[in-house]
Amino acid sequence: MINPVEWPLVGSLKAVATLFTRMCAGRETGFNLGAPSCIPIKSTMDNPTTTQYANLMHNFILKARSTVREIDPQNDLTFLRIRSKKNEIMVAPDKDYFLIVIQNPTE
Amino acid sequence: MAPKPQKRKKTKRAKTKMTLPVSEEAEPLNMESMGHPEIYPLVLTTKTQEIFNCRVEEDVTEEQPYKLIRKEDIFADFATRAAVSDFYPVKSIVQEYPGDELLLVYDRDFKYGLNFYLIGTEEGKENYLNPPELPEEQEEYKDHIPEETYIYKPPISKPWISLGSEKEIEEESVKDSTKQITYMISRKRSEFGAPIKFSDQNASSVKDAYIECTAYPDKNFTLKQLERDVGMQVVPQIKETSTQTRWTRPKNATTQYYPREFLEEEKEALGQSKTLTEFLNSVSTSVEIALQQNEIMNTFIHDWKCLAEEEGTFGDKTDTHLKEYQSFTDLHSLTEKMVTCVSWHPVIYGLIAVSVAVRLSFEERVHFSGKLLLQPSLILFWSFSDPIHPQLMLESPDDIFCFQFCPTDPNIIAGGCINGQVVMWDITAHADRIENIKAGGSRSKKVTLKPMFLLEPENNKEAMYIRHCAVSSIESGHRKVITDIHWLPDTFEINRLGNVFENRSGISCQLVTCSADCTICFWDIRPLKASTPQPQAEKKKEESIEIPFDIPSTFLHLDLSWKPLSKIRLSKGETTLDHCPTKLSLSEDNLLFKAQEKILAQSKAVKAGEMNPYQNLENALSNILKPIDDFCTKFFVGTEEGEVIYTDWKMERDPETGRFMAKKPVSLYTVHDGAVHTVQRSPFYKDIILTVGGWNVAIWKEGIMTGPLLQSCCAPKRYTSGHWSLTRPGVFYIGREDGYIDIWDLLEKTHEPAQSQNICITMITYIKPWTFSAKQQFIAIADYYGTLHILEIPWTLSHPSTNEVSSISHYFEREVKHLDYVEQRRKIREQEKREMELELEKKKVKTFQKSKEQLEAELKMDYESYLELEKNILSNLGLNKEKEAMSYMELI
């Protein structure tokens, strides 16, 4: 298991961007940051793709969260990963915001 | 059983006691079978009847049919008449008879078969004489054994003893309980059979016409229901209403929406908010872990699937040889010919075009020029279905050394002649002919609808000689043989200065040729805009040239007046000797394996539209074109001296003369020992080029200026042709001058060919592989003697293994790195060399500077140290001078 690296407290959006560009140095495609109303705040991809991802993911996150909660009300959704043939979509949800990262996992 | 007769008895006694010898006969017949064992039928003759006084109708009558005969009489009869006596059969019976008198009955009706019968027992006698009153006693007759005597006793009536049966009988009997009422109904006779009239009557109208039993509630039978099962359903209140809208006319309505987005300020504000940063902090670790996990390993990989090499091999895996499929030779030619260029038809299966040229050197050509003029120079179209007769023959003014199908229209062919002319053919009119060759001769026979024997073989198979459509102008074209010709792809166009423009016409309309006169020319097949009005006289002259009717007029505008768009001279600088290009390779060689789909689509489009863009070439010129920026205008050229030049076709302004001049080549390498005859880009990588020439092979990467990625060592035989494999990125085929083909596989060996196979006995002049399907791949090999061999490529050579593309690209990257490393090492080596030289020099200088005194002092010190050394050695050996004598003494 990988030891999670201790990241410094992120103070601003700019720092976040640098953080993720470091992540994107690998084979990642892009990420975007959405508000609860599923409107994207910041993204590395072009605008139409960003909005599309944000809108589609919003419903999916709500559904997933409600599923987890229905099975066990004490439980909550922490992370969501959708693996497809071409890439992997990872979503980290929160009560206010969510973060979507798209990565190409194949060697 | 016969019904029992009512018997009347008669007794007659027989008195004879004489015992006659009893014959051994069985018991005399008795009527036992009839139920009367005591009755013995007899026949009495009249004599006997007289004796015994039982004459028929006298003594014995119907009223009194019986007579009692005394036993003694019978015995006397026995004595007197012995066997003749009628009573002989019943002798034994008579003897045994207990009584005195036997009963003899006259059987008038022959009931028992004979006219008399005798009752054999007393009982029977009694029964006969006194028939019993009660019928039940007759039952006892059956049980009689003739030996027993039965005394008949008439039954005495006794009082009836009740055993209770009368009660049963009374119970069971049916008696009328009541007296039956009898009615007598009479009617008038006349009324019988009269028609009946029915009428209705209300029952309540007549009193007492009906009796009813009215229902009344009886208290005993009323039940009070205390529980009841009721089903309930909750239904929302639904109200149905309908409305009808008025539809006046159809109207288009559209909606357009756009997603909600934050404004920039809002985004900034949100970005600064604390909640966002907190969220990101909390989330970043998990996201990072997930990303790293994916980086480390692909957990969803299918190991089993990735383990397998091929999905399913078609054919034998060990079979790695090219299999001979067919070979074509032109048998009709008079002189010996060699094949100069081979090209598969891009669309039609099994059709291959071959250009042949006579096998003569320049001097011999001059010598035989008269004879050569009479023979046509041809491009032959061969089909798999017919190995003897070529399907089409394209005529050209002189031997063709290279030709190509147009990538956008396979009916247009451009070829380069030995005399420097560019020749164009248009075979659109004959396209049907060659398209229908697929099934062989049968289809064409159907078309002609003639029976077999009427068909003359030549009629059917006569190959068509097709004259060329246009040739380039002799003065302004090339001066020497055209060694290579290429169509420019339809994605871009070039103008006179070499600038690249967009190609709006969608067709390939430009050619590039290179020739032995050290020039590279660009040609355009579209008609030039009339810049200067031509004098009338010349026009008339041109018109007077009669064009044969069967030549399409596609390129009429070009015929004999075709000039190149631009000419580039590959000059070596100040010297007059220029580079002599033999082969070209442009940046986009799209003609290899992607061409098929493209051409099919385009030819379909053309057929549908019925407007061949090549017929309307004038339209194509009028478009105003947009220049393409950042287009790579560089290309590779192989020369006759064995050099590989990487140069640019864009012209630049020469600052001195102000004219446009060709740029100097970017790089130049001499790697081959002979003329370079193959410069070809890999179908898989845009920047890998294969050059074959002389005795070796080299692979280059565009952009790497330091040298070839791979350069093979000298082969034992000269390499005369080469081609990349179309499906395997690491395989290429090289033909040798002894008729062998070397198959190189970069994944297997890079220092020598993986395989070598003999094809023919002479030099291989051209190799061209072609893919028809995933399972069938052919390679066309042309040799010096004019034969074209078609071989089938086995599965192992045609099917790439998984990851082969990536492996080969890795290999090339490694080679690039290797080149870099070599370069660096070279630099380091030079550095080292320089340093070493410096040191040596320094050393020399140092030794020279020492002075004389120092030398003397040094020498002295050396000597002293030497003395010491000598002393030490001697003492170690024990050979010091003081002790010499003593040691000698000791020895004695």
Q: Are B12 and B69 in contact (CB under 8 A)?
A: yes
Indicate the SS3 state at residue B744: strand
Q: Look at residue A8 and tell me whether its pLDDT is greater than 70.
A: no
For the stretch B717-761, pLDDT in tens is 889 889 998 888 889 999 999 999 999 988 888 888 888 999 888
- Looking at residue A68, its pLDDT comes to 94
Domain count within chain B: 1
Over chain B, what is the mean pLDDT?
A: 76
Q: How far is CA B796 from CA B308, B320, B355, B745, B803, in A?
A: 15, 6, 31, 11, 15
In a domain, B315, yes or no: no
Write the DSSP symbol of residue B29.
P
Query: Which residues of A are less than 8 Å from B281 in CB distance?
Result: 7, 9-10
Interchain CB distance below 8 Å, A55 and B291: no
- Looking at residue B307, its pLDDT comes to 73
- B730 Cα to chain A: minimum distance (Å): 22
In a domain, B872, yes or no: no
Give the mean model confidence (pLDDT) for residues B664-676. Answer: 81
Phi-psi label, residue B705: left if phi above 0, alpha if psi -120 to 50, beta otherwise:
alpha
In a domain, B624, yes or no: no
In single-letter form, the type of residue at position B41 comes to P
Q: With b meaning 16 or more CB within 10 Å and e meaning fewer, what string describes A29-57?
A: bbbbbbbeebbbbbbbbeeeebbebbbeb
Task: Count CA within 13 A, CB hemisphere, residue B504.
Answer: 10
For the stretch B78-137, pLDDT in tens is 777 777 777 777 777 777 777 777 777 777 777 777 777 777 677 777 777 776 555 444
Backbone angles phi, psi at B294, to 5 degrees: -65, -35
- Looking at residue B831, its pLDDT comes to 93
Of A5, A13, A97, the CB nearest to B288: A5
In a domain, B114, yes or no: yes
Of B868, B878, B785, nearest to B333 (Cα)? B785
Three-state SS sequence of B327-379? EEECCCCCCCEEEEEEEECCCCCCEEEEEEEECCCHHHHHHCHHHHHHCCEEE
Query: Which residues of A are less than 8 Å from B287 in CB distance?
Result: 23, 79, 90, 92, 99, 101
Copy the structure tokens of residue B213.
């039993």
Q: Are B470 and B414 in contact (CB under 8 A)?
A: no
| CA–CA dist B393, B430 (Å, integer) | 11
What are the beta bridge partners of residue B197?
Answer: none
In a domain, B827, yes or no: no
For the stretch B422-450, pLDDT in tens is 888 888 877 777 776 654 444 444 444 44
Residue B622 exposed, middle or buried by CB count within 10 Å (0-12, 13-18, 19+): exposed
In a domain, B348, yes or no: no
Interchain CB distance below 8 Å, B286 and A11: no
In a domain, B18, yes or no: no
Copy the structure tokens of residue B302.
């299918």
In a domain, B66, yes or no: yes
| CA–CA dist B115, B133 (Å, integer) | 28
Query: Which residues of B are less than 8 Å from A97 in CB distance?
Result: 275-276, 279-280
What are the beta bridge partners of residue B682?
Answer: none
- A76 Cα to chain B: minimum distance (Å): 14
Residue B51 lies in domain: 32-128
Whether pTM exceeds 0.80 = no
- A65 Cα to chain B: minimum distance (Å): 16
| CA–CA dist B526, B424 (Å, integer) | 12
- Looking at residue B411, its pLDDT comes to 85
Q: Are B441 and B462 in contact (CB under 8 A)?
A: no
Backbone angles phi, psi at B90, to 5 degrees: -105, 25
Contacts of A82-88 spanning 24+ positions with Cβ under 8 A: A83/B300, A87/A29, A88/B294
